[in-house]
Structure formats: C-alpha cells, structure tokens
Chain A
C-alpha cells in the first residue's frame, strides 16, 4: 500500500471525489447566479432555497405522484423554473429601476419564506430520497472505489454547465443575451423582446438551481436548510471567480470544490473556511476576481 504525503490514497482520492462533487454543485449554482446577475443585475439570494426546492419537488413527485428520479430530473427543474418566472413577473420586475440592493433584500425575504414554509411542513430532520436503481453500485478504479451515482453527478453537472456555456457563447440566442446584458435598450430597438428574455433567463437560472437540487436529493437528506449554508459558499465562489465569464464560474466552482476536498485531507479543521480564506486572498490581489472584468 503506497502513501502520498503520509495520506492513504483511498482517503485522498475519496476526499478529492467529494470535493469534485461539491464543486459540481458550486459550479451549477454559481453559473445560475452569474446568468441571472448578468441580465437582471440581481443577486438571487433565493438561489439556495430554489436548489432546496428542486430536491423537495423531486421528493414530492416521488411520494405523492409516484414519479421517479429520471422524470423528476426533467420535471422538477421545469416546475422550479416556472415558480421563478412567476416571482420575476410579480415581484422582481418591479424593482429594476431601483438600487440593486433591493433585489438582494427581496430575494432574501423570499428565501426566508420558502425555507420557513417547508420547515413548518417537514421539519428539519431531512427526508430520505432513494437513489435510482440504475445508478446504484460503483466501479473499482484500482486506486479507489467510485460510486456510480457520484460519477453521474459530475458527468451531469459537466454536461449541463458546458451546454449552458455553449448556448451563451456560441449560439445566436446567446449572442442576443450577451448583447442585452450590455445594452438592453439597443437590443430592444432591434425588435427583440428584452423583458421576455429577462423573464426566461431568470426562469432558466432558477431551473438550473432546481436541477442541482434533484441531483443532490439522493446523496444529501432533503431538508429545508440544505440550500441556506451552501448559497453563502457559492457567493464566495462567485466573488473569487468574478462574475465576468460563464467559463470562469464553472472553472472556479470545480476548482474550489477540489481545494476544499484537499483541505479536508490535510487540515480538516480548515475545510469549512478555506474558501473564505481564499476569497480574502483573492480580494487582496485581484479585487475583481480571477475571471472578472473590472467594471
């Protein structure tokens, strides 16, 4: 049995895998935040609650309607995204002419409501959500054991993130989006329905959070607080990455997940704060973030 820096490889790779999985969630959530921020100029504080809602909707679909994991993976993001669209139309759209901070405060209030309602209904102990049978078991990679579901999370997250990147950076729709973040008035003058685009963008960003929630449901207990602490780490990820680029948030998300995993191996006490420490360092050296544009 060989050892790396005094750490058994099983433990090292196990933590790296865990880091990569956390990184998948960081990447998906910070990507959603970046998209919403880009077009709406709103930090969507509800994002964590919407991620949690995705997991709850998956649980409800299974327990009330008997709809399984694979359909939930499609339906839950649609449902969560639809609630996002309602929220954008009813509330957020009325705040665009105000200071951006009101958007933050509004979405913070919404997160409190959402978490409170579900806590009232289901408590905080967490509900079990079974793994799809097709993904149970795992692979022995020789140096470590990879549970299939964990591998699936990483693959699914990568596919979704890169797909989103492709749509935004390489397609005509993406070009409209990017143009609208620069100058909505001008894009509107070209006959593009900017308010509709904004609404759908919010819906899509929220759906992304919902999708992450469904992915998370089988490995974490589904509970009302699951998004609350995650979202703050994601905020730190966003500050570190800087919100300029889509690829930036994906890379930062995965990278920080890995760093967190490594810290858990070599200095477990520091794993909860390492991302915040990195944030402090990045702020000192590059206040706009690693991939950020100086605005």
Chain B
C-alpha cells in the first residue's frame, strides 16, 4: 500500500531506543498498558462488550498482518472468521468438545481454507486479488447458508461454554473474559513477533518492490502464501473465540459486510501499524453498540467513515499519533 508508513523497529543502535527482550521499551510500555486496561476493563464495562472488542481487535490485527505488512488487500476475510466460528460452535455443541479444543478445530479449519484460497488468490494481484478473495468468501457464505450443520438462517445458537481443559469452568462472563483476554494477547504478541522477524522484513521488501525482491532471490509467492495463511489462521482464532463470547455462530460472521467491517477497522485505526487495528476495532464496535438502536443508520455512518477515512484520513488514528511521536507504533 502506498501510504503505509514505515513501521519497522529501528535497527539495533539506531535512534538509541532502549530495548527489553528485543522489543523497544515504549512498545513494552504500550503492551503493559493494554494488559492493565484489559484486566481492569471487565470491572468497569460490560464484559461481553469488552470481549467483543477484543475478538474484533484480534480479527483486525490478523487482517492487518496481511494488508498492512504484506500489502495484500483481502476482501473476504469473513470466510476465515466465520467458518472458524461455525466449526468451533459445532464442535462445542454437537461433539461436546471443551472450548480450547473447539477453538483449535475452528482455527485449523480457517488455516486450511486460507491455504486453499490463498494459493489461488495470490496468482492475481492488486484489485483482482481483492475480488478473488471476495468471491471465495461468497462461496463460503452460500455454503454456510445451505450446509445442513450450520443451521441456515438461524445459525448455531446456544453454544455451550464447556469447562476449559475439561475442568476450569467458564460459565460466567467474567471467567470467559479471562480466556478471551489470554487468547487476544497471545494473538497480538504472535503478530508482533512475526512482523519484527526476518520473515516480516522480507514481507516488507515484497510489499515495497516485488520485482526487486524476486530479483534478490526470494520466493515471493511462498512468502505471500505464508502470510496469507497466518492471517487467515489468526482471523479464524478470533472467529472461533467469538463463538464462545456470544455463544452463537451465524451468517453475519461469513457475510461480506463482515469482510468490509474489518477493512474499515484497520483503515480507521491505521494500517501497517501494530496497535492501529486495536484502536480501530474499539471505535467501530463501540459505535455499533451505541448506535444499534438507529438501525440502518449504522451502515450509513460506517460508509461515511469509510469515505472520510479514504479521502482525508488515510493514516488512521494510530498512524497520526505515530507521526506526532515520530516512533513506529
């Protein structure tokens, strides 16, 4: 993407930023603040709402791994989010699996789907890539609409919160919340690690100048596919977790408007930043929650934010902050 700002950490020594465990100190501070906020949040706000934010934040971060760091705009990420949500809901409800196994099953499904769709989609570039991913996602939507186990228009309702690992009860919202918080943190730390690894550096090179990366001898398509699968898998992790938050998997999760929403969260928060999608998800979910009573207005407002973000605010919230503090966030 053109306006994606430089997001890589300063190389060792440059800028003299202090590092803790290979992470710049101020990133460590941000993670610590996030953790504190995450622990305090369920006591201040309705836990289900915060869990929703966390799930979508992870979804948006997973999406941003592909768009912001890989430069690939997938317009069909709902496929991985939604199918994982269906599979984990089904696993918990019909097979009676414990949450961690159900989530694993959902995430694995998303990974396999990501591998299948990704290997085809990376054959096209740019806008075509977006259209191909969107079309594949629509395939999953129709499949979910018709397949016998998805419950059609009703979805899978009343997903049981079985005991975690078979013995830790997560029957109340607060207990579920801790599980979601752990998953969220594991997810974003993993993404952070990927972005700041040699693999992430090569991705950046491909994003900036693909022919050059090819001429340097990198197997570009392998990198693209890997990041696609990683992104799909993490999106699946978010979707599978979401099935336990709402105890529901439904067609909304696989519909293309969901793919659009995650793009909006990322764009608004700041694509190519580590923390941007979290902010974007928080803003959009909050907005949806408080505007839910206005019905179709939510769509109109989302559309308007899209237009404004594209026309005037391409760096996104964290992108702007990043410019002020002059440090990659």
Q: Which residues of A contact B (CB under 8 A)?
A: 37, 41, 43, 91, 94-95, 98-102, 104-106, 108-117, 119-120, 229, 232-233, 235-236, 238-239, 269, 272-273, 275-277, 279-280, 283-284, 287
User: Are A98 and B2 within 8 A (Cβ)?
Assistant: yes
Cross-interface CB contact of A113 among B132, B256, B307, B311, cutoff 8 Å: B307
Per-position 1/0 for B103-138, Cβ under 8 A of A = 000000000000000001101101110111011101
* Listed stretches B36-44, B139-147, B193-201; interface member: B139-147
User: Are A104 and B130 within 8 A (Cβ)?
Assistant: yes
Minimum CB–CB distance from A54 to chain B (whole Å) comes to: 19
Known: A109-B310, A113-B304, A113-B307. A232 touches B267 (CB 8 A): no
Taking CB atoms, residues of chain B closer than 8 Å to A233 are 138
Q: Indicate whether B3 reaches chain A with its CB closer than 8 angstroms.
A: yes
User: Are B131 and A235 within 8 A (Cβ)?
Assistant: yes
User: Are A279 and B135 within 8 A (Cβ)?
Assistant: yes
User: Are A110 and B307 within 8 A (Cβ)?
Assistant: yes
Minimum CB–CB distance from B167 to chain A (whole Å) comes to: 42
Taking CB atoms, residues of chain B closer than 8 Å to A235 are 131, 134-135
User: Are A91 and B124 within 8 A (Cβ)?
Assistant: no
User: Are A120 and B297 within 8 A (Cβ)?
Assistant: yes
Q: Indicate whether B20 reaches chain A with its CB closer than 8 angstroms.
A: no
Taking CB atoms, residues of chain B closer than 8 Å to A91 are 307, 311
User: Are A108 and B306 within 8 A (Cβ)?
Assistant: yes
Known: A101-B73, A109-B303, A239-B135. A287 touches B130 (CB 8 A): no
- Docked Cα-Cα span, A279 to B131, in Å, equals 11
Q: Number of B interface residues at 8 Å Cβ cutoff, please give it.
A: 44
Using A98-B3, A116-B299, A283-B123 as known contacts, list a sample of 9 further A-B pairs with CB atoms less than 8 Å apart, ordered by residue number in A. Answer: A91-B307, A98-B314, A102-B314, A106-B310, A117-B296, A269-B146, A275-B135, A276-B142, A277-B139
Cross-interface CB contact of A239 among B1, B124, B298, B302, cutoff 8 Å: B124
Q: Indicate whether B237 reaches chain A with its CB closer than 8 angstroms.
A: no
User: Are A280 and B136 within 8 A (Cβ)?
Assistant: yes
Q: Indicate whether B295 reaches chain A with its CB closer than 8 angstroms.
A: yes
User: Are B138 and A276 within 8 A (Cβ)?
Assistant: yes
- Docked Cα-Cα span, A108 to B127, in Å, equals 13
User: Are B135 and A236 within 8 A (Cβ)?
Assistant: yes
Q: Which single residue of chain A is at the shortest CB-CB distance from B143?
A: A273
- Docked Cα-Cα span, A102 to B256, in Å, equals 18
Known: A232-B134, A235-B135. A105 touches B310 (CB 8 A): yes
Q: Which single residue of chain B is at the shortest CB-CB distance from A281?
A: B120
Per-position 1/0 for B253-296, Cβ under 8 A of A = 00010001001000100000000000000000000000000011
Interface of chain A: mostly helix, strand, loop or mixed: helix
Q: Which single residue of chain A is at the shortest CB-CB distance from B261?
A: A112
Cross-interface CB contact of B120 among A94, A269, A283, cutoff 8 Å: A283
- Docked Cα-Cα span, A276 to B130, in Å, equals 14
Cross-interface CB contact of B297 among A110, A116, A279, cutoff 8 Å: A116
Q: Which single residue of chain B is at the shortest CB-CB distance from A106?
A: B310
User: Are A272 and B300 within 8 A (Cβ)?
Assistant: no
Minimum CB–CB distance from A8 to chain B (whole Å) comes to: 24
Cross-interface CB contact of A101 among B127, B256, B299, cutoff 8 Å: B127
Minimum CB–CB distance from A226 to chain B (whole Å) comes to: 15
Taking CB atoms, residues of chain A closer than 8 Å to B75 are 104
Q: Which residues of B contact A (CB under 8 A)?
A: 1-3, 73, 75, 120-121, 123-124, 126-128, 130-132, 134-136, 138-139, 142-143, 145-146, 256, 260, 263, 267, 295-300, 302-307, 309-311, 314
Minimum CB–CB distance from A267 to chain B (whole Å) comes to: 12
Taking CB atoms, residues of chain A closer than 8 Å to B73 are 101, 104
User: Are A239 and B120 within 8 A (Cβ)?
Assistant: no
User: Are B300 and A273 within 8 A (Cβ)?
Assistant: no
User: Are A99 and B2 within 8 A (Cβ)?
Assistant: yes
- 8 nearest CB pairs, A to B: A109-B306, A112-B303, A116-B299, A113-B303, A116-B300, A287-B123, A276-B139, A272-B142
User: Are A273 and B303 within 8 A (Cβ)?
Assistant: no
- Docked Cα-Cα span, A122 to B147, in Å, equals 32
Taking CB atoms, residues of chain A closer than 8 Å to B120 are 280, 283-284
A-B contact pairs, 10 of them (CB 8 A): A41-B127, A100-B126, A101-B1, A109-B310, A110-B303, A116-B303, A120-B296, A236-B131, A236-B135, A283-B121
Cross-interface CB contact of B306 among A105, A119, A232, cutoff 8 Å: A105
Taking CB atoms, residues of chain A closer than 8 Å to B256 are 232
Taking CB atoms, residues of chain B closer than 8 Å to A106 are 306-307, 310-311
Q: Which of A106, A112, A115 has the most CB of B within 10 A?
A: A112
- Docked Cα-Cα span, A109 to B313, in Å, equals 14
Q: Which single residue of chain A is at the shortest CB-CB distance from B129?
A: A101
User: Are A112 and B135 within 8 A (Cβ)?
Assistant: no
User: Are A105 and B146 within 8 A (Cβ)?
Assistant: no
Minimum CB–CB distance from B287 to chain A (whole Å) comes to: 14
User: Are B295 and A120 within 8 A (Cβ)?
Assistant: yes
Taking CB atoms, residues of chain B closer than 8 Å to A117 are 296, 300
User: Are A120 and B300 within 8 A (Cβ)?
Assistant: yes
- Docked Cα-Cα span, A287 to B221, in Å, equals 14
Minimum CB–CB distance from A238 to chain B (whole Å) comes to: 7
User: Are A272 and B314 within 8 A (Cβ)?
Assistant: no
Q: Which single residue of chain B is at the shortest CB-CB distance from A235?
A: B131
User: Are B131 and A43 within 8 A (Cβ)?
Assistant: yes
- Docked Cα-Cα span, A110 to B305, in Å, equals 10
- Docked Cα-Cα span, A279 to B133, in Å, equals 11
- Docked Cα-Cα span, A127 to B73, in Å, equals 36
Minimum CB–CB distance from A121 to chain B (whole Å) comes to: 9
Taking CB atoms, residues of chain A closer than 8 Å to B307 are 91, 106, 109-110, 113
Taking CB atoms, residues of chain B closer than 8 Å to A279 are 132, 135
Q: Which single residue of chain B is at the shortest CB-CB distance from A271?
A: B142
